[in-house]
Amino acid sequence: MSSQDSRPNIILVTGGGRGLGRNTAISAARSGFDVVITYHSNGDAAAEVVGEIEGLGRKAVALRLDTTDVGSFDAFAAALRSELGRLGHENIHALVNNAGIGLDAPFATTSEELFDRLVNVHFKGVFFLTQKLLPIIADGGRIVNLSSGLARVALPGFAVYGALKGAIEVLTRYLAKELGERKIAVNVVAPGGIETDFGGGALRDILEVNAFIASQTALGRAGVPDDIGPVIAALLSPSHRWINAQRIEVSGGWVL
């Protein structure tokens, strides 16, 4: 909620129609935020999330966005401003850069096409979307970027993905430094293995993959979306205002 009045703040979650983005959006709504989510192609799933948030008594809207298409960001920012006005808001309190894809390949056979797809989604898109939305983020607001345990632990096949998440962690510190004058706190959350459809749902659906992650985790299981969304929502609240420029791993103690 706003520290200045009783009106709810509104946040933007990219990739909010499924997985961790969906859970983050709903967790934030439960914490009292109105929510804008973006989706790439599955408008029906996004509409379901909007309906669930509205069922919690909060306002919500879903906007289509391809985070790899930097040229579309001007139009997206204009559409966002329009929807904010319709919902009774001037700015967003927080941006959660969640949208992503799960692709893997051995280093020796990684193609330039795969490399570019991952770069565009996991770094270039995050960089330039955040830049474009800076005028819409309220002073004193929040930015939360999504990293991964794979930025800390090396698993074969994830050289590009892990390296890009490492880049996001460095970018987070730079954003915290440069946006400090506006009192915008910027943090990065690094989940461990989570049971979602990410990467084709292997961790969720393949028993051997799930068992491997569980065996490497101190708490003895793979993660679920409910382990992550509430942590991100908490970082948006006034009670966590003094956490800034931090990498917060939410993995149950993976590979200690």
Q: How far is CA 97 from CA 82, 159, 187, in A?
A: 21, 21, 11
> Which of 31, 59, 165, 251 is the catalytic position?
165
* Helix, strand or coil, per DSSP, at residue 78: helix
Q: Is 31 a catalytic residue?
A: no
Q: Is 39 a catalytic residue?
A: no
| Token digits of residue 114 | 């795969």
Q: At what angle do helices 73-87 and 125-133 cross, to 10 degrees?
A: 50
The answer to whether residues 247 and 169 touch, using CB atoms and an 8 Å cutoff, is: yes
Mean of pLDDT over the chain: 95
The predicted structure's pLDDT at residue 62 = 98
125: closest CA among 101, 106, 107, 103? 101
- CA 109 to CA 236: how far, in whole Å? 40
The predicted structure's pLDDT at residue 201 = 84
Residue in the structure block whose two tokens are 């003094």: 242
- Whether this prediction's pTM lies above 0.85 is answered by yes
- What number is the average pLDDT over the span 141-151? 98
Between 130 and 5, whose confidence is greater? 130
95: closest CA among 166, 197, 175, 194? 175
Q: Is 177 a catalytic residue?
A: no
> Which of 6, 148, 174, 215 is the catalytic position?
148
Q: Quick one: 175 exposed, middle or buried, by C-beta within 10 A (0-12, 13-18, 19+)?
A: buried
The predicted structure's pLDDT at residue 2 = 43
Residues 91-108: tens digit of each pLDDT: 999 999 999 999 999 999
Q: How many other β-carbons are positioned within 10 Å of the β-carbon of residue 88?
A: 11
Q: At what angle do helices 159-178 and 125-133 cross, to 10 degrees?
A: 20
At 6, the pLDDT band (50, 70, 90 cuts) reads: low
Share of the chain above pLDDT 70, in %: 97
> Which of 124, 161, 174, 215 is the catalytic position?
161
Between 50 and 202, whose confidence is greater? 50
At 198, the pLDDT band (50, 70, 90 cuts) reads: confident
Tell me which H or E stretch contains 145: strand 137-146
Q: Is the pLDDT assigned to residue 252 strictly greater than 50?
A: yes
- CA 212 to CA 216: how far, in whole Å? 6
Share of the chain above pLDDT 90, in %: 93
Domains of the chain, each with CATH number or no CATH: 10-250 (3.40.50.720)
> Which of 147, 174, 177, 237 is the catalytic position?
147
